Structure 1
Amino acid sequence: MAQAKFSRRGVLRAGGAGLLSAGVLGTLTAGSARAAVPASQRFDLSEPSYDVFRGVMLDEAHHAMQGMAFDAVNRRLFIVQIRDGSSGDDLCINQLDESGKVVGSMHLDKAGHGVSIGVEPVGKDSYVWVECDADSSDDSGRGTALARFKFVAGAAPSGIKKFFTGSDTITCATDPVNSRILVRRKESGKMTFRLYDFSSIDVENGTFTKELAKITQPTLGNGSVTFQGYTVLGSYLYTLDGTGHADAADINSYVTSIDLNTGKVVERFLTKAGKSLVYREPEGMAIMRTSGGEVRLCFGFASRTSVGNINRYANVFHKNVLI
C-alpha cells in the first residue's frame, strides 16, 4: 500500500463526531488524584483529525501495531507489535523515519503486549522504555517490570536496566515536550498512573524520585471499554479505547482527556478518523512535536486490505488544536 509522508498539517480525511454527554457514553467516574503538576493547555478533542500516514506495513506483517512513541529530538517514531510466530508475549519494536518508512527493528522476548511504550532521547541515541518479563507466555501476558535500553536496529537489546520489578500489568508513555514519563500499573487492584520527570530517575540504581502526580484510572463507559493506549502532555492524560470493526457504522473508538491534578475526565470524544479503513482497530497513542514546533496528539489504527487478509497495516492520525 502507498505510504503517505508526514506533513505539517496533513490532509483532512476524517474528522470526529460531536462531544457526547456522560449519559450517552455511560458512567464517567473520576479517579482519585494526588498531584501538583503545573497547569498546561490541552488538546481540543472536538477538532478535526488529520492524517500522519496510512497503510504502512511494519516489520511483522501479520500483527497489528500496538503502542508508539516519538523521539522529538532525533526525529524518530517507534511502534511496537507482537512478533509473527510468537506465542503472544514476544515484541518487535519498529523504528520509522519521517516519511513513515520502517528503517529498522529490534526484538524483545517474553515482554508482554505492548499497549504503550516510551522513548527517551540521549544525545543522538534513542532509549526505549517498554514492559518486560511477561507474566504469561501467551497473548494474555503482560509486563511485570519496565525495561530501558538503547535502540540499535538489528541488534539484541543490551545493557538493559529494569524498573518497578514485580509490578502487575505495567506500561509507560512519555511526554517529549516536558521530558517526563508516565507509568501505568495495577496497584491494590486499580490501574494507577504516576508521573515523573526524566531528571528524577536514577538509572544506575533503578529508582524514581520526585513524583509529580498519581491518579487512579477513571471508569469510562460503565467499565466496559477496551483500553487501547494512552499518552501524556503537560497536566493532561489522554486515553484511547474501542474495538475493531468491519462496518464503519460500528465505530466505538473514543479519545479522552483527563486532568492529572484532579483525576477528572475533561472531555470524551467519539473519533471517526480513518473511518474508511478496513477492519479499523484503535491501537496506541503518542505526543509528537514536529520540526516546526507544532505539538500533536497522535493515535493509531490497525487495518487490513480486506477482512479476511492476514496482513495488518499501521495508520496514524493526529489532532493539533490546543486550548
Structure 2
Amino acid sequence: MAISNRPLSRRTLLLAGGGTVVTATATGVFLGRREQRAPSPPGAVGPFDIDAAAELLRPTPLHDITGPQSIAFDEHGRLYALQVMQGGIRLPDEERTLSGKARRLAGDMCVTAYTRGGSAARHMYLRGFGHGISMGIEPSGDGPMLWVECDADTGTGYGRAVARVPFRHGTVLDSTSPSVRHHRPLPRSHRIHPAVDVAGNRILLSHRAGRSQRYAVYALDEFLAGSYRPLFDRRNNALRSGETLQGCAVHGDHVYQLTGTPYTDSEGVNPPEDGGNTYVSAIDMRSGKTVGRRKVSVALSLPFREPEGLAVRPGTRTELCVAFSVKSDARRKVAVYACPA
C-alpha cells in the first residue's frame, strides 16, 4: 500500500454537498460527515440501499447491437454507456469490415449518450482503447470528458493505460491519435480501467498486478499533471473465488464493485430460480476491508440479466446505479436500476 501524507489541495477539500468534510490522518484521507446519519437499512452497502433499487432505464437499445460493458453519468445525471463495437461495421477510413472478435481484440468500442427521456441520441467510436469494464465522466466547459482505458493489448483486448478524451458525437477517435494522452501510473499492471469521483476530485483505477486484482485511488488534479502518487492502493479482498468483476465506482470512503454472471438454465451454476449471482460490495479505502456485500435482487424476470456496469449518479439524492445486459431477438439492450442513499 502507498499512502500520501502531502497537504491536500483546496479543490480536494471543497467537495460537493456542503455537509462533507475532508480530514488528513496518519492513514490517508478520511471523508466524513458533520451531521449524524440515521441507521442504515438492512439492505444497505455503504449509504446505498441495494434492496430499494428501482428502474431508472427500462431495457433500451444502445447504438451498436452488442451489450453494455459499463455506464457513467455526467453532472446533469445523463447516462452514457460503453460497449465493444459490433462486427460487420466498416468505418469511413477502413478498407474492410471487421468481425466482432476482431473488434474485441483490437479494443474497439462505442460510446452511447442518452437523453433524459432514455433515447440513444448520440454516439462516438473509440478504436484501440480497450474492453470498457468501467468508465468515468468529468465535466468541462467544452462538454463531457470521458475517462476510459486505452492502448489495448491486442492479445486480450484490454487496456494498459487510461486516457481522458472529449465526447464528440459522430466521430471516430483512435487510441494512437496524438491528441490522446496515455496515463501509465501502473506500468506493471494490466486490465486497467478507471472510474471518477467528481465530488471528491479523485480517480479510481481497477487493475491487475500479476494474479492480484487491486484498486488504486489518486487525486485527480495531480493525476492529470502526471504525478501518480496514490492516496490508496489496496488489494481487492472483496472479490471472491470464481466471481467475475463487472464494474466499479468510488464515492465517499468506499470503493464499490459489481460482480456476477448471466443466468444459466436450471441445470447450470446460475439458474434464474436462485435469484442470480449479482452482488454489490463496498471496500473501505482506509483499511482495505470489505464493509458491505448485498445481492442485487431487482428485476429478476429480465431475460439473460448479466450485470454490466456500476456508477454513481449525482443529484440532490445520490444513487448507486447497476446496469444489466438484456437479450432480445436481434440485439442486446441495457437496463439500469438506481439504489438510493
- Taking structure 2 as the reference length, what is the TM-score of the superposition? 0.75
1:212 aligns with 2:235: no
Question: After superposition, what is the alpha-carbon deviation per residue over 1:130-168, rounded to whole angstroms, capped at 9, x for unaligned?
Answer: 11121125xx32111112111111112362111017441
Matched with 1:80 is: 82
Counterpart amino acid of residue 83 in structure 1? M
Structure 1 residues 26-85: Cα deviation after superposition (integer angstroms, max 9, x where no partner): xxxxxxxx9522234732445411111111100011x1111111111x443221001110
Is 1:55–2:59 an aligned residue pair? Answer: yes
CA deviations 1:80-114 (Å, max 9, x no partner) are 00111032131101111222221211111122211
Distance 1:243 1:164, change over 3 A: same
Residue among 288, 295, 305 paired with 1:270 = 295
Q: Aligned with 1:170: secondary structure?
A: strand
**Separation (CA, whole Å) in 2 of partners of 1:304 and 1:46:** 23
Q: Distance in 1 between matches of 2:243 and 2:194?
A: 20
Letter in 2 for 1:148: R
Say if 1:183 and 1:193, in contact at 8 Å, map to a contact too.
Answer: yes
Task: Determine what percentage of the aligned residue pairs are the same residue.
Answer: 29
Distance 1:40 1:92 in 2: 37
Distance 1:106 1:208, change over 3 A: farther
User: 8 Å contact 1:106–1:155 — kept in the other structure?
Assistant: yes
**1:248 lines up with 2:272 in the alignment:** yes
Please report the RMSD computed on the Cα atoms of aligned residues, expressed in angstroms. 2.0
Q: Is the 8 A contact 2:71 2:135 kept in 1?
A: yes
CA separation of 1:304/1:263 partners in 2, compared to 1, >3 Å: closer, same or farther?
same
Does 2:215 correspond to 1:190? no
1:151 to 158, 164, 167: 167
Counterpart in the other structure of 1:65: 68
Letter in 2 for 1:311: R
Distance 2:83 2:308 in 1: 10
Map of 1:161 onto structure 2:
181
Q: How does 1:116-127 map to 2 (within 5 A)?
A: 116-127=134-145
Q: With structure 1 as the length reference, what TM-score do the two structures score?
A: 0.79
Mapping of residues 273-292 of structure 1, within 5 Å: 273-290=298-315
For 2:180, give the aligned amino acid. I
Q: Which of 116, 120, 123 in structure 2 is aligned with 1:105?
A: 123
Per the TM alignment, residue 277 of structure 1 is displaced from its structure 2 partner at its CA by: 0.7
Amino acid at match of 1:220: L
Code of the residue aligned with 1:193 in structure 2: it is Y
Which blocks of at least 5 consecutive residues in structure 1 are unaligned?
A: 1-33
| Rg larger for | 2
Please state whether the residue corresponding to 1:163 is helix, strand or coil: coil
1:122 alignment partner, SS class: coil
- Residue type of the alignment partner of 2:227: F
State the 4+ residue runs in structure 1 displaced beyond 6 angstroms.
none
Q: Does 1:239 align with 2:257?
A: yes
**How far apart, CA to CA, are the structure 1 residues paired with 2:277 and 2:302?**
14
Q: Distance in 2 between matches of 1:171 and 1:299?
A: 17
Counterpart of 1:297 (choices 316, 320, 325) is 320
The residue that corresponds to 1:317 in the other structure is: 337
In structure 2, list runs of 5 or more residues that go unmatched: 1-25, 34-45, 88-99, 265-270
